[in-house]
Structure 1
């Protein structure tokens, strides 16, 4: 009898994502990644192309808006210079503008923003992006961890009183961000005075890596973070709970329990490990869309994030800034999708075997 035939396979691992990883280790699926990379490169090209053409289909442009605000104080020569600066020279064919746009992107130049005093687009985005990443990113991670863990426990203990959390969190998930945010401001800021009502920090506070500034940022972010966590918690709880109910009916769960394994081990090592796979892909997408910010939430709390910056750029018809923000958003979503595919393939060998 060969050595392979004498190898004992744990029956509780058959049909689970643990089977391949236990036998082969968590190897990186390069062929799977390569196929995805080609697809995402095409998607990136299509997104950048649409990013160039769509704003130009709108009526008017940034220079027209700027000329209207100047009330005729600029000469035609100044208007021509502005159009050349923003790549909106009507004497240049559209295809040539498109090639110039690609040339600028490849050199890391996103243009200049007319709505921020002719500042480089990269600088305008760099000043707003950390606030969005810090606020929405932390809130998304917190809601994912709490919602996934709570959903796993609720699914494991189905039929218990914990099921009451599902309709409660689902109801809270239907509440609009701005409505819950206004309620929090009215209660915790206006009535109780526990937290500030808006902005990222108080006027006059010098930004820096010091205790005073960090405490200001944390206190100002408390209500927006709580708003995002509460509203988004229901989706994570419901998704994980439903997947747990499906996984608990699998044979390997029955075998694991019949072998007398501790419930905690069966819950987290077998049931939750397989049920969490769809959650990981959803989490990656949520991380990608963090870059876009939560526009309404940022408006309610006057938070200087990327969403508020995009609103101002749209009102000013600031094509360069709009295109820069959309480009960063597209890149974030694509990278998040790639990371989700890689994580999914590593955790579930069946995925990369099918793709291969």
Structure 2
């Protein structure tokens, strides 16, 4: 019980630190987002007055008349009430609505692709590591080479092959624009078809890392004494592979999977940009381009919460999977 309480306390402090940094970083950056927006307004022929500046400050959730500590308190209260401000890019839409509209697309695309690449990579890594030095080891350099290829090159190659040359899948967008978004089978089928190439890009680029890591851990685990003892007892190879070797070798992969799952919320910015996919990654890029500080803060906050939440779940699961973790803590 003490182990789990300490973990919850640690992540509560980490959450407070993340909220504080999310509040401070935009205020520590050179320049002022209000000045940037007012300069753009002037370039378009707008008239800037004191009332205009005041309106822009309130729009971005700031108030220069308040001391910093009061602004910080208001920020915390607004965050816990779900108020992340108003997006300048998608004005007058609140940041929470902009994120809510794009987040499901990223979770479905990057989440499913991450799970598939992890399962395939860890499974193949366990098989390759079980028989090191065989022809299966030739898979490792090939997958590692694919992982080294930049995302946008791999995405462009897939678009050229499957969308432009063979015309099997669409190359851009998230669904057929003639359809109304909803839970109809027609729309779901369209979303799956449009998401196939972006998902394939992520799986191909990610599977090599999982395969190599699991393969190396399997080779190291096979030299442990308990593996030799299991073999001496005459246990079947399949039993040793599943219950002894793979189960212990995959513990580091669980931690890596938690981090990867947490970063699902951030999306794959390059992949989404190449495929014009309506996910959170494209929204983040748009926010950076347009100096939309409220939207940037909101997306960074969601990413932080996802990473902390995923790591907390895995830390708790670690305590159940490997009792030695609780003992050392």
Superposition map of 1:186-197 within 5 A:
186-197=160-171
Instruction: Find out whether 1:342 has 2:313 as its counterpart.
Output: no
SS of residue matched to 1:63: helix
SS at match of 2:4: helix
The counterpart of 1:51, out of the listed 9, 15, 22, is 22
Matches of 2:212 and 2:4 in 1, distance apart?
A: 30
Deviations 1:95-138 (A, max 9, x none): 22112111211222111111111211111110011011000000
Aligned residues: 326
Residue 37 of structure 1: aligned partner: 8
Q: What TM-score, normalized to structure 1? A: 0.88
Give 1:294-313 correspondences, 5 Å limit: 294-313=268-287
Whether 1:156 and 2:119 are equivalent positions in the alignment is: no
Instruction: Pick closer, same or farther for the CA change 1:203–1:74 going to 2, 3 Å.
Output: farther
Structure with greater Cα Rg: 1
Q: Quote the residue 2:301 is aligned against.
A: 327
Root mean square deviation, CA, Å = 1.3
- Tell me, in whole angstroms, the C-alpha distance in 2 between the residues paired with 1:270 and 1:170: 27
Larger RCO (alpha carbons 8 Å, 6+ apart): 1
Which structure 2 residues correspond to residues 153-302 of structure 1 after superposition, within 5 A?
A: 153-302=127-276
1-structure distance, mates of 2:293, 2:57: 12
What are structure 2's unaligned runs of at least 5 residues?
none
Query: For 2:276 and 2:31, how far apart are their aligned partners in 1?
Result: 28
Aligned position for 2:288 = 314
In structure 1, the residue corresponding to 2:89 is in which secondary structure? helix
- How far is the alpha carbon of 1:74 from its aligned partner? 5.0
Contact 1:40 1:334 in 2 (8 A): yes
TM-score (norm 2): 0.96
Q: Which moved more, 1:179-188 or 1:80-89?
A: 80-89
Cα contact 1:314–1:322 (8 A) shared by 2:
yes
